[in-house]
Amino acid sequence: MPTQLPGLPERVAIYEVGPRDGLQNEKAVVPVEIKVEFIERLVSAGLRTIEATSFVHPKWVPQLADADVLIRDLQRVDGVRYPALVPNERGLDRALALGVMDIAIFASATESFAQKNLNRSLDGQITMFEPVVRRARAAGLSVRGYVSMCFGDPWEGDVPIAQVTRVGRQLLDLGCSELSLGDTIGVGTPGQVHALLRAFVDVGTPVEALAVHFHDTYGQALSNTLAALQAGLSTVDSSAGGLGGCPYAESATGNLATEDLVWHLHGLGIDTGVDLEALVRTSVWMSKALGRPSPSRVVQAMSKGE
Ligand code: HMG
Ligand code: MG
């Protein structure tokens, strides 16, 4: 029986990142037919925004080198968004040629990760993104902006809040309609989440424009999600089965598992539109394809004996 807590949203929009953030970090290259089926199963389970792939350099992320084939082969369903990561104009050209309607650029809050992930400085990343957002918006695309390393960085340690809000504001000023705040290495705790979200609101960011993206390295992702919902957010990123990581941040493990998130939200009486049993069946199927069990506690609990 769901039991509500005061001050939480009635509905949460889940932004599913498994096919992109999850599979970009798999050692084995997953065949494109399996990726297509994975996305189609996620749609059948009720997810309505599914980050499908990345138009990055194939040498940087070989696991997603099939992005063009994947988007070509995917049967797109009306009402479902299939955003893709795009770092630069070359990536945008590829996305536009395939009729992609939603893209995401991805910035770093720290100099070290900007260099390692994008081969750019903090200012250089913004220079790279500027024509991407301008051209994408002119072509009618929606653009999400990620900020990585919002709560800690493996090379620089603590990250000052003002540094995070500065990069976030730069992305919004470029024309991003949504900002996803990433705990790339999963070290943050709820007090930090509260403080960062308050800082964004204090610099004039509407809370509706904010989303959170937690990796679950230290087991804090659900507590952090609750802190974000209490601060007024209603868009949360997660990855089916808890797949995930970042190839350029070694201490990053899987994202918050979508099943764990859905269990949590439904228990609070919050609507997600997701059929949890269908989602668990999808993650069990995917874990067989990957040859290892899902790290999600909810997947494990609901699939005993399979
Ligand atoms: P670069 O080496 O500086 O690239 O990489 P460049 O601009 O100097 O170009 C070099 C060559 O690459 C050129 O070819 C380009 O055409 C080609 P050449 O003229 O030498 O023959 N090239 C491309 N080819 C295909 N697609 C492209 C592309 N761009 C250039 N898009 C670059 C710069 C940004 C491309 C590279 O650093 C890169 O691809 N980085 C991506 C890293 C990545 O995908 N990381 C994981 C995603 S981020 C993440 O997971 C965090 C997140 O989940 C949030 C969180 O958890 O915090 C989002
Ligand atoms: Mg991530």
Q: Where are the domains of the chain?
A: 14-302
Check whether 305 has a pLDDT greater than 80: no
CATH architecture of 14-302: Alpha-Beta Barrel (3.20)
Q: Tokens for 224, please give them.
A: 């952090």
Torsion of CA 261, 299, 148, 125, to 10 degrees: -120
Strands 49-50 and 13-16: parallel
Using the 8-state DSSP alphabet, how is residue 254 labeled? P
Distance 202 CA to ligand 2 centre (A): 25
**Ligand 1 atom nearest 17 alpha carbon:** 53
Please state, in angstroms and as integers, the Cα–Cα distance from residue 259 to each residue in 16, 191, 241, following that order: 11, 24, 7
pTM (global) more than 0.95 = yes
Tens of pLDDT, residues 144-195: 999 999 999 999 999 999 999 999 999 999 999 999 999 999 999 999 999 9
Q: What is the mean pLDDT of the chain?
A: 96
C-alpha 37/C-alpha 44 separation (Å) is: 10
Q: Is 245 in the pocket of ligand 1 (CB under 6 A)?
A: no
Look up tokens 């929009």; give the residue: 13
Torsion of CA 282, 245, 149, 237, to 10 degrees: 0
Q: Tokens for 191, please give them.
A: 């007090």
Tens of pLDDT, residues 128-147: 999 999 999 999 999 999 99
Task: Find the catalytic residue in 149, 246, 249, 274.
Answer: 246
**Ligand 1 atom nearest 59 alpha carbon:** 39
Which residues fall within 8 angstroms of residue 300, CB to CB, at 6 or more apart?
293, 294
Distance 60 CA to ligand 1 centre (A): 6
Which residues fall within 8 angstroms of residue 276, CB to CB, at 6 or more apart?
259, 262, 263, 266, 298, 302
Check whether 246 has a pLDDT greater than 90: no
Q: Tokens for 39, please give them.
A: 């996305």
Torsion of CA 9, 13, 172, 232, to 10 degrees: 10
C-alpha 213/C-alpha 182 separation (Å) is: 5
Q: Which of 57, 98, 113 to mutate for ligand 1's pocket (most ligand atoms within 8 Å of CB)?
A: 57
Tens of pLDDT, residues 181-235: 999 999 999 999 999 999 999 999 999 999 999 999 999 999 999 999 999 999 9
Tens of pLDDT, residues 48-103: 999 999 999 999 999 999 999 999 999 999 999 999 999 999 999 999 999 999 99
